[in-house]
Structure 1
Amino acid sequence: MTAMLPRKALTSAVRKVIWEPTKNKAGGLSSQEMFLIVGQPDTLVHEVLFHGTRGNGKSACLLMGFAQHVGKGWGAYWRGVILRRQYSALRDLINEAEKVFPRLFPGATYNKSERTWTFPEGEQLIFQYIEKASQYEAKFHGQQFTYIGFDELTTWATDEIYEKLLSTLRTAYQPTARQPLMPPKQVRAMTNPWGIGKRWVKERFIDGKRNGEIECTIKSLIDEDGNTVEIEWKRCAIFGTIFENKYVDLEYKAWLMNIADPMLREAWLYGNWEVVDDTAMFARVWDRDVHILQPFEIPAAWKVDRSFDYGQSTPFCCLWTAEANGEAVTVGGKVFCPPKGSLIVCGEDYGTPLTPEGKQQKRDLGLLLSAGKIGARLKAREVKLQTTVLKNHARITAGPADNQIYNGSKVDEGTAPTVAKELEKEGITFTQSDKRAGSRITSAQIMFERLQATVDRNREKPHIYIFSGCKFLTRTIPDLYRDEDEPDSVAKGPDDHSWDALAYRLTWKRPTARVSYGIMGH
């Protein structure tokens, strides 16, 4: 028999609960409970992404992840920072902290000008914003944090700021009798599967992993005695849903369930990472099932050219593109006859270091090759294509390239070396691309129209297709966003080099007279 507390005593007991994690009605741990547990010293996971639907209590957990170690004996060495991309976005978190911290920690004070909470034993939590990587030096370089929190991680377009802040995750704490454990240094990030940085966040935390699965990597370092020490670094993603959160009112849940945009509803109500963010440039007209083709031999009568975006410290990209002439081809037993002028991107070489598993080692990192080495690599790739999908094309037309490959062409009466000249020595030639004012808008408009015509099966307009092997291009297109200052053009960003190579091709006019060919590789 369960003893019942008198109503007065029960009320008093309930009032002592200032905040508690949500409970899993089906049994087991809730997402919030899991989040707090992996922040404990004996069950520590260093990097955690708390993702899922809207209204699952992510932001409150970001505060409580820090608060659970206040008063535990680390004092000023337990120091945290919670970040948003812009200052205005911090207000809700600051307001939430003002509601609970004074009740949880009597004596805690908040400095509004510095946006810093200081707790009775010296712990500190700072609210800060950082929009550009260039702000890192002034705001964070040289600082030490044991708790770093990112709210709405996908609002940062790249992982550059995230990686830079990781360098501040350190401490000079020395164990004491009261607290013999080191502070559980940790990075915590919250997000929905929506926003300009969706791709890099998904690749880092979601792809190939189950919910709650802990990924372990070994990091080697040299200690002060010159010995190699191996440190285990753990990372995981925790999924949370609004249906766990009893504090969210029914009206809000109903609103989420009735969002008219099906893609937004999938992301915000179900936390689905696979939906295409319709704030992206081509989201409304991109369909992988339609635009991506399995490779086939390009007919001899279709013209083929190469286009190129140069990079050394950043990736370069060369695309081989076929232009259909209205002739049909049989693919997998089915007749494929795109309208005349349709483009089929049939080959790609993206110059970035890869892991043994074929994944990119680091976003926007180039191979640091000389122009001659790049030319030799592109030639080898082209020759290989000429044994497979381009078997019917012994000659490839020189298409457009990033015009910076001609830099230096007017030095020393034209005798100075240029990237273009070094590429040509390896049999890879290009022509000038259209870089006039407005060309970025034009290329985006052409792409949009071609994608739409392909989806609509419009026979009056040229289509665009991409072979499945062009993995960087097919991965990039759904995640291209509009430029904030020029909304009808694609925003510049990391790993957009395959798009740049394609954009040059979209605005290029194939010469009708004499064309320049690369040297044959056979």
Structure 2
Amino acid sequence: MSSAGNIKHIARAVRNVVWQPTKSKTGGFSSQEVFLLLGQPENLVHEVLFHGTRGNGKSASLLMGFGQHVGKGWGPFWKGVILRRQCSALSDLIDESHKLFPRLFPGAKYNISKRIWTFPTGEVLIFEFLEKNNQYEKKFHGKQFTYIGLDELTTWATEDIYERLLSTLRTAYQPTKQQPLMPPKQIRATTNPWGVGKQWVKERFIDGKRSGQIERTTRTLLDVNKKPVEVSWSRVAIFGTVFENDYVDLEYKAWLMSLADPVLKEAWLYGNWEVVDDTAMFAKVWNRDVLLMEPFTIPAAWKVERSFDFGQSTPFCCLWTAEANGESVTVNGKTFCPPKGSIIVVGEDYGTPLNPDGSQQKRDLGLFLSAGKMGQRLKDREIRLQQTILRNHPVVRPGPADNQIFNGSRVDNGNAPTVAKELASAGITFVKSDKTAGSRVTSAQLMYERLQATIDDSPDKSHIYFFSNCKFLNKSIPTLYRDEDQPDSVKKGADDHAWDALAYRLTWKRPVTSIQQGIR
């Protein structure tokens, strides 16, 4: 039977019972039908993200992605798990499963305490939650699944749990006459373009790809007989809209269309990944058109310093900042005169492995450089800046750094090596940052005030601007979220190192020189 015939057969089978996938209004397959098709052995795509608007039937598809292979001959080898980040968030999925499974599969039993469906032909589906990385070891390490579903993928701040779960996507099934095919191992995720994990999900599934474009990678491995075998892996994002879903009432669709918040409307009604999530820390005061600037030569009278967040297994970040003194400068034929004390971030070096196209190979992965090599790299970067935008600044002043680079400074009467000493040997020096209690709240508040002053063009408050060449900082700031336990500070997370380097600069109090003291 062809793929199209197969999906229509499935649709007819379930139509007489409980559920059928939505139908396209323009011909062809709907997003739900495509989702099911890509889970069939002959059309298998290993990773599928079902995204788009609210109310497009993603959660039901997640259940039926597993259900379509119950009774196909794989028995207990067709074993699935569907996850949410928190246990309380599972209730809607579990309720939906109780509406579907008992009628689709008479004899299916549900264990309330273990949150497990067991089907008459031996298949098993588990509902589980994973909030923290350390829960993976206890709940999943060493287990095997052929179907993994993650609902609301962007509620996970990083890809760590997702990638760890991929290690459990395996099977010991051996083909039989009754079922000669291997189980179609697959991982499925659903989400709206909203939430703390939006950036990593967007980078993995959306960026640089056309809608529905299947990304395929192939590796050559050796089998048990040491013969080369090509192993492929595939990934795709499917877009679905609420207007496909006739099971959603008109009042709900009208509510989505009437949303007053333009950001929410873009995300929830149109599934737009490019809007800035206004639950992010600085979203309401982030305006790229105002804040980002093309590089220009920094005047000699402006102060220039470097600030630094250290990392080896995770990225390090060095930022070069200029502080305006009230002097104007001509930029692209226009006069630019930010208030005295305004900060312009003019350069960055973000220590992470890059792909040939300049994209990051893996989020939050460092270069594993020694402090000496790190210092030389930073010095080389600084020299390049001094040949261009910092040509008026043959000396860059030491600014604040992560205080851990000074660890060990009191060991062996001060003779023990430290990261700070190794960096200094390359000509890159720093001073200590403010890590006192409350400094994280202070840095976030100072940032908020500067951003607000900039977009309001306040003449009597210090602004902040960013050169467009600081791509990691500029990308990360709109995706920083509030700490759940301390809402007025930035939540720690992957790839927040550029922010840390900037936060040290924001809270740093430049030492008063003897000349300044004499003036006073």
Q: TM tier, shorter chain?
A: over 0.9
Paired position in structure 2 for 1:102? 102
Amino acid at match of 1:308: F
- The Cα shift of 1:349 comes to 0.2
Secondary structure (helix, strand or coil) at the match of 2:200 reads helix
Q: Aligned AA for 2:419?
A: V
| Alignment size in residue pairs | 504
Deviation at 1:152, TM superposition (A): 0.1
Quote the residue 1:157 is aligned against.
157
Return the offset for 1:75.
0.8
1:101-250 correspondence runs (5 A): 101-250=101-250
* Residues in 1 aligned to 2:17 and 2:109: alpha-carbon distance in whole angstroms: 21
Counterpart of 2:380 in structure 1 is 380
| CA distance, structure 2, for counterparts of residue 100 and residue 359 of structure 1 | 43
Paired residue type of 1:312:
Q
What SS class does the counterpart of residue 238 from structure 2 fall into? strand
Question: Would you say 1:89 and 2:92 are equivalent positions?
Answer: no
Deviation at 1:28, TM superposition (A): 1.3
Q: Identity of counterpart residues, as a percentage?
A: 74
Alignment of 1:459-474 (within 5 A): 459-474=459-474
- Give the C-alpha shift of residue 510 in structure 1: 1.7
User: Structure 2 matches for 1:314-353, cutoff 5 A?
Assistant: 314-353=314-353
Structure 1 residue 113: Cα displacement: 1.0
Does residue 277 (structure 1) correspond to residue 277 (structure 2)? The answer is yes
Q: CA separation of 1:248/1:395 partners in 2, compared to 1, >3 Å: closer, same or farther?
A: same
Measure, in 2, the Cα distance between the counterparts of 1:496 and 1:265.
28
- Structure 2 alignment gaps of length 5 or more: 1-11, 516-520
Give the aligned partner of residue 25 of structure 1.
25
User: In the TM superposition, what whole-angstrom CA distance separates every residue of 1:31-60 from its partner, at most 9, and x where no partner exists?
Assistant: 111111111101110000000000000000
1:251 counterpart residue number:
251
- Pairing of 1:401-412 with structure 2 (within 5 A): 401-412=401-412
**Shift of residue 15, structure 1, vs aligned partner:** 7.1
- Report how far residue 230 of structure 1 moved: 2.4
Counterparts in 2 of 1:480 and 1:289: CA distance versus 1, 3 Å: same
Q: What letter corresponds to residue 72 of structure 1 in structure 2?
A: K
Amino acid at match of 1:245: N
1:13 deviates by 10
SS of 2:201's equivalent?
helix
C-alpha distance in 1 between matches for 2:131 and 2:409: 38
In the alignment, what sits opposite 2:8? none
Deviation at 1:217, TM superposition (A): 1.1
Report the 3-state secondary structure (helix = DSSP H, G, I; strand = E; otherwise coil) of the residue aligned with 1:81. strand
Q: What's the offset of the Cα at 1:400?
A: 0.1
CA gap of 1:14–1:494, structure 2 versus 1, over 3 A, is: closer
Q: Which amino acid in the other structure matches residue 57 of structure 1? A: G
TM score, norm. by length of structure 1 = 0.95
Q: Which residue of 1 aligns with 2:363?
A: 363
Match of 2:3 in 1: none
3-state SS of 1:506 partner: helix
Which amino acid in the other structure matches residue 198 of structure 1? K
Deviations along 1:196-234, whole A, 9 cap, x unmatched? 000000000001111110011123433222334321111
CA separation in 1, counterparts of 2:13 and 2:52? 32
Q: Is the 8 A contact 2:158 2:200 kept in 1?
A: yes
Residue type of the partner of 1:33? Answer: E
Report 1:305-320 matches (<5 A): 305-320=305-320
Instruction: Letter of the 2:54 partner, please give it.
Output: R
In structure 1, what is the equivalent of residue 51 of structure 2? 51
Structure 1 residue 343: Cα displacement: 0.5
Which amino acid is 1:67 matched to? G
Q: Distance in 2 between matches of 1:21 and 1:61?
A: 8
Cα shift readout 1:312-346 (whole Å, capped 9, x = no counterpart)? 11100000000011111111111111111110000
For residue 17 of structure 1, report the CA deviation from its aligned partner: 3.8
Q: Which amino acid aligns with 2:257?
A: M
Corresponding position: 1:500 with 2:517: no
What SS does the corresponding residue of 1:429 show, helix, strand or coil? coil
Pairwise CA distance, 1:514:
6.6
Matched residue type, 2:205: F
Quickly say closer, same or farther: Cα 1:271–1:14, change in 2 above 3 A.
closer
Q: Is the 8 A contact 2:297 2:390 kept in 1?
A: yes
Give the CA deviation at 1:14.
Answer: 9.8
- The 3 A distance-change label for structure 1 pair 110 and 160 is same
- For residue 270 of structure 1, give the secondary structure of its aligned residue in structure 2: coil
- Partner letter of residue 303 of structure 1? K
**3-state DSSP of counterpart to 1:157:** coil
Question: Which moves more between the two structures, 214-223 or 417-426?
Answer: 214-223
Aligned equivalents of 1:223 and 1:501: distance in 2? 47
Q: Which amino acid aligns with 2:371?
A: A
Deviations 1:71-124 (A, max 9, x none): 111111100000000000000000000111011111111111111111111111
TM-score, normalised with respect to structure 2: 0.95
Question: Following the alignment from structure 2 to structure 1, what is the Cα–Cα distance between the partners of residues 507 and 108?
Answer: 61
Q: Residue 519 of structure 1 aligns with which residue?
A: none
CA distance in 1, matches of 2:13, 2:27: 24
Structure 1 CA distance for aligned equivalents of residues 47 and 511 of structure 2: 53
- 8 Å contact kept, 2:157–2:196: yes
Q: Which residue of 2 aligns with 1:391?
A: 391
In structure 2, relative to structure 1, the CA distance for the partners of 1:176 and 1:453 (3 Å cut) is: same
The separation in 1 between residues aligned to 2:331 and 2:37, in whole angstroms, is 54
Establish whether residue 424 from structure 1 lines up as the match of residue 395 from structure 2. Answer: no
Find the counterpart in structure 1 of residue 7 from structure 2.
Answer: none
What code does the residue aligned with 1:307 have?
S
* 2:188 aligned counterpart, secondary structure: strand
Q: CA offsets, 1:118-145, max 9 Å, x none?
A: 1111111100000001001100001000
Task: Give 2:354's aligned amino acid.
Answer: L
Q: Relative to structure 1, is the Cα distance of residues 205 and 390 closer, same or farther in structure 2, using a 3 angstrom cutoff? A: same
- CA distance in 1: counterparts of 2:70 and 2:258, whole angstroms: 41
- Distance (whole Å) between structure 2 residues aligned to residue 173 and residue 514 of structure 1: 77
Structure 1 stretches of at least 4 aligned residues deviating more than 6 Å after TM superposition: 12-15
- Take 2:334 and 2:212, find their aligned partners in 1: how far apart are those partners? 44
Contact 2:194 2:277 in 1 (8 A): yes
Label 1:51 to 1:460 Cα distance change in 2 as closer, same or farther (>3 A). same
Q: Which amino acid aligns with 2:207?
A: D
Cα distance change on mapping 1:30 and 1:383 into 2, 3 Å:
same
How far apart, in 2, do the equivalents of 1:276 and 1:196 lie? 11
1:220 to 1:134, Cα distance in 2 relative to 1, 3 A = farther
Partner of 2:4: none
Q: Any idea what SS the aligned residue of 1:434 has?
A: coil
The letter for the 1-side match of 2:182 is M
